[in-house]
């Protein structure tokens, strides 16, 4: 009788342990994304200040339509519009850009935006539109930085005088 009781208790403990292992992965991801590193979204002057602080360099005066979203230090998405002649000065001299972008004509990187963010989070970042089919002229590139981050850049050149830059930074 006692052996049967001990066997049932051990079986219960083993099942509880296995259930904990199975549930731990999704719950850890949920806890990280919703509690430990929620999605932060800013635009306008708040985005400009955040970007200048993050990259440690001032943006060109022609920079407008600024947006920035981040999940902790793991992932960033940003968008800004800038005069064509100022594009080369965006984030110039920043120690945060740890690789050189090999920009290629008509190259559209495969962004991880939809993999990393839930549908509800994506709706909060409705300005992130580098896959818009109306974009007809563009360059893009990606590289892995020395800080183990994947940098993806896409520049919409459809407007010949103002270009829109999209950047995704994902910690590997």
**Neighbouring C-alpha atoms within 13 Å toward the C-beta of 76:** 22
Query: Do 47 and 14 share a domain, yes or no?
Result: no
Q: Which residue has the tokens 């007809």?
A: 136
Range of the domain at 106: 38-171
* Dihedral-angle region of residue 88 (phi above 0 means left; psi in -120 to 50 means alpha; beta otherwise): alpha
* pTM as predicted: 0.78
Mean pLDDT of 102-116: 93
Element (H, E) at 12: helix 2-31
Q: Quick one: pLDDT band at residue 54, thresholds 50, 70, 90?
A: very high
Task: Outline where DSSP puts E strands in 59-129.
Answer: 64-71, 75-83, 104-105
140 and 77 fall within a common domain:
yes
Q: Tell me what pLDDT residue 32 has.
A: 46
Same domain membership, residue 71 and residue 11: no
Helices (H), 32-158: 44-55, 113-116, 119-124
Query: Is the pLDDT score of 122 beyond 60?
Result: yes
Q: What is the pLDDT at residue 80?
A: 97
69 shares its domain with 8: no
Count: domains in the chain: 2
User: Both 25 and 105 in a single domain?
Assistant: no
Are 18 and 56 within one domain? no
Query: Are residues 157 and 121 part of one domain?
Result: yes
Q: What are residue 152's DSSP bridge partners? A: 142, 168
Mean pLDDT of all residues in 33-43: 78
């Amino acid at each position: 009788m006692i052996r049967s009781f001990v066997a049932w208790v051990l079986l219960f403990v083993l099942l509880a342990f296995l259930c904990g292992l199975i549930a731990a992965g999704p719950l850890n991801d949920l806890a990280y994304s919703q509690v430990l590193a929620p999605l932060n979204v800013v635009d306008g002057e708040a985005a400009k200040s955040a970007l200048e602080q993050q990259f440690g360099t001032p943006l060109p005066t022609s920079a407008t339509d600024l947006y920035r979203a981040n999940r902790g230090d793991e992932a960033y998405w940003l968008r800004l519009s800038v005069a064509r002649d100022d594009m080369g000065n965006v984030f110039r001299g920043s120690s945060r850009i740890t690789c050189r972008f090999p920009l290629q004509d008509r190259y559209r990187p495969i962004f991880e935006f939809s993999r990393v963010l839930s549908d509800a989070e994506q709706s909060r970042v409705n300005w992130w539109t580098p896959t818009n089919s109306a974009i007809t002229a563009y360059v893009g590139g990606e590289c892995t930085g020395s800080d183990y981050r994947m940098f993806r850049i896409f520049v919409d050149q459809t407007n010949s005088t103002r270009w829109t830059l999209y950047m995704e930074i994902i910690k590997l």
